């Protein structure tokens, strides 16, 4: 229970890369169900998959997660949760998009083959030690936009000062040799950008690449703020959450 609030709002985020050939019918069904449940937020539907940001009561969130998982393609969705004192979204939108996260790199198909992922607890062990299990130095690579990084990031993380995610492939190409003999862990807010980034890095020939499973939010949930400085920017009225996943009140991040 969020301190000081009897009935907190439950916020969830989740995504999955999976082929969706029936996006229009999904849009209609999800729009109707979310409306019935009084939810607000955004659901993105693209040929490559689904990306979900929703907030509402505990009962409504449990109901929409059950609704999503009833689709066999989405049965393994694993939402990340946080709590807030009020509804952080203004409206409910289910949108059709070309990509659920825009890289403008059509050869990237995360559904076909995921990049290796590292769990939060394992990553903390690596960062405590400074090396992975094979003794290679670990480099954290922030794949978020510059204003998100400004709210907080992992200690000593590489940051390319990205304006939009579609800049990532060209920026990586200029620094590809920096990762020789090292293990690079890409990270982002909830996992979607760092998954695409890690697949691209593997395709670019970087040998030892992992994505942080579940992103920063899952890391906070499982191990707290170890090796992380600041807050995590989120795309709603909260602006950012602290390492205990509560709204970072009183701080302006953008």
Beta strands 49-56 and 9-17: pairing type? antiparallel
Strand partners for 204 = none
* C-alpha–C-alpha distance, residues 96 and 217, integer Å: 25
Which DSSP category does 167 fall into?
G
Q: How many helices (H) and strands (E) does the chain have?
A: 7, 14
Residue 69 host element (H or E)? helix 58-69
Q: Which of 14, 34, 188, 194 is catalytic?
A: 188
* 194 catalytic per annotation: no
> How far is 139 from 60, CA to CA, in rounded Å?
40
Torsion of CA 143, 224, 1, 189, to 10 degrees: 0
Q: What does residue 191 show for φ and ψ, rounded to 5 degrees?
A: 115, -20
β-bridge pairing 209-212 and 117-118: parallel
Q: Which residues are catalytic?
A: 188
């Amino acid at each position: 229970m969020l301190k000081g609030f009897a009935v907190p709002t439950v916020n969830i985020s989740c995504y999955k890369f999976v082929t969706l050939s029936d996006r229009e019918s999904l849009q209609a069904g999800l729009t109707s169900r979310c409306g019935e449940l009084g939810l607000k937020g955004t659901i993105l539907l693209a040929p490559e998959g689904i990306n979900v940001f929703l907030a509402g009561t505990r009962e409504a969130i449990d109901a929409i997660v059950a609704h999503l998982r009833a689709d066999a393609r989405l049965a393994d969705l694993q939402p990340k949760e946080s709590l807030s004192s009020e509804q952080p979204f203004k409206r409910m939108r289910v949108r059709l998009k070309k990509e659920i996260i825009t890289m403008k790199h059509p050869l990237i198909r995360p559904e076909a083959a995921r990049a290796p992922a590292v769990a939060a607890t394992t990553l903390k062990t690596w960062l405590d030690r400074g090396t992975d299990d094979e003794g290679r130095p670990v480099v954290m690579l922030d794949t978020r936009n510059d204003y998100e990084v400004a709210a907080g990031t992992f200690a000593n993380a590489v940051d390319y000062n990205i304006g939009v995610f579609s800049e990532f492939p060209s920026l990586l190409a200029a620094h590809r040799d920096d990762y020789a003999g090292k293990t690079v862990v890409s990270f982002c807010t909830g996992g979607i950008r760092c998954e695409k980034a890690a697949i691209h890095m593997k395709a670019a020939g970087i040998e030892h690449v992992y994505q942080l499973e579940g992103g920063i939010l899952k890391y906070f949930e499982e191990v707290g703020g170890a090796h992380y400085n600041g807050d995590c920017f989120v795309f709603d009225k909260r602006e950012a959450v602290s390492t205990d996943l509560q709204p970072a009140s009183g701080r302006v991040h953008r």
